[in-house]
Amino acid sequence: MLTTPVSEKTLSRGMLDVLIRAGLIVVLAVVCFRIFYPFGSLLVWSLILAITLYPLHLRLRKHIGNKDGLTATLLVLIALLILAIPTYFLCVALIGSASHGLEIVKNGTFSIPPPSESVAGWPLVGGKVYAFWLQASTNLTGLIQTFTPQLKEVGVALLHGATGVGAGLMIFIFALIISGIFMAYGEESRRSAVRIASRIFGVEGGPKITELCAATIRAVAQGVVGIAFIQTLLVGVAFILKGIPGAGLLALAVLLLGIMQLPATLITVPVIIWVFATEGFSVMAIVFAVYVFIAGLADNVLKPLLLGRGVDVPMPVVLIGALGGMVTGGVIGLFIGPVVLAVGYQLFWRWVDDQPQADAPVEPKQP
């Protein structure tokens, strides 16, 4: 049976059709990305919150007649209430501190106490710290005029930081509300995620990859936020009992540093120095300094214990993903980094294990 050869004109037309379709797909993908991009951060945060809170949603649903919508609404309202209470007290404290500072400046009663003689004996930096502190206590106006340009830069940076914190808080609130919608359709969302993963990684690997991503996000959320909260309690209680000024704000700063994967010693060490400078090297000051310094390093012990729980990936992989993601992608990268690295780790070892078995060597027959 003779076959009709394909003409060059037919091949050209087929190639042109393929290029046109590919071009239309690329245009559609670009347009969809540009439409999605302004809401990308919001939706990613919503997905992270939904995955993190969904086990709690399942537990609470059993006591509310298995109603997903009502359970998700109640959970979101509780989360918003928990978020609103400390935010309110923080705003009240900031407004009160600002008002008190303005009154002190207007009345001209603000003064810095002179340093004790023991400050000059500090190794390496004692002399400079003593001279700077003494000038601040005797001629604060002149010192402020000397550092006016630097103070303006610091003020601008603080203003930008406060604006960023406010915008981040609003995004988090909206993301929390949207996460309630995701949780209300949790089973459908899970099945859709499994279908997408199965299409990419195969029928056998799709469900495993889906569970790995969810478990990694939960482990990072519980580990990072949980460790930061524990560390804040350890440090905050000591600050309050010692009577450190602004203990609540300092504890909040420790919490934020813990979530951002920055060391709490950025707060604890200056506080320890301030206590030694004002009280000297008394027994209580030394006990406070040792306890606060150890509490500031508690995350180094807690991370190996909590960060990788429930994830079928070694803890160093999750930790490296969290730190690298934080550096490259900010707070969202803190969650995306471990997920990408965990999936890549699993796929790499699957590729290593999925190799053809070598044929067993044939033993020569004995004569």
Position 183: which residue type? M
Alpha helix (H) residue ranges in 62-204: 68-107, 126-138, 140-146, 148-184, 186-201
Distance CA 277, CA 115 (A): 7
The per-residue pLDDT for 2 is 47
The per-residue pLDDT for 52 is 85
Average pLDDT, the chain: 79
pLDDT digits (tens, 9 = 90+) for 197-222: 888 888 888 888 888 888 888 888 77
Q: Residue 289's CB: how many other CB atoms inside 10 A?
A: 19
Distance CA 202, CA 195 (A): 9
pLDDT at 331 over 90: no
The per-residue pLDDT for 34 is 92
The per-residue pLDDT for 100 is 64
The per-residue pLDDT for 24 is 92
The two structure tokens encoding residue 2: 């003779």
Domain map (residue ranges) of the chain? 216-348
CA 158 centroid distance within chain:
20
The two structure tokens encoding residue 351: 């590729």
pLDDT digits (tens, 9 = 90+) for 141-180: 666 677 777 767 777 776 776 676 677 778 888 888 998 9
Residue 107 banded pLDDT, cuts 50, 70, 90: low
Taking residues 292-318, what's their average pLDDT? 77
pLDDT digits (tens, 9 = 90+) for 9-67: 776 777 888 888 899 999 999 999 999 888 888 888 888 888 888 888 888 888 887 88
The per-residue pLDDT for 317 is 81
pLDDT digits (tens, 9 = 90+) for 343-363: 888 888 888 877 665 544 555
pTM of the model: 0.68
DSSP for residue 203: T
The per-residue pLDDT for 26 is 93
| CB of 119 closer than 8 Å to CB of 274 | no
Beta-carbon contacts of residue 346 (< 8 Å; ≥ 6 apart): 208, 209, 212, 312, 313
The two structure tokens encoding residue 60: 């609470």
pLDDT digits (tens, 9 = 90+) for 283-300: 888 888 888 888 888 887
The per-residue pLDDT for 7 is 66
Q: Decide which of 21 and 128 is more confident.
A: 21
Task: Kindly report the three-state secondary structure assignment for every residue of 297-330.
Answer: CCHHHHHHHHCCCCCCCCHHHHHHHHHHHHHHHH
Position 323: which residue type? L
Distance CA 183, CA 175 (A): 12
Report phi then psi at 193, rounded to 5: -65, -40
CA dihedral 53, 54, 59, 60 (to 10 degrees): 70
The per-residue pLDDT for 360 is 47
Percent of the chain with pLDDT over 90: 4
How many distinct helices (H) and strands (E) make up the chain? Answer: 14, 0
pLDDT at 366 over 60: no
| Of 181, 138, 163, residue with least CA distance to 50 | 181
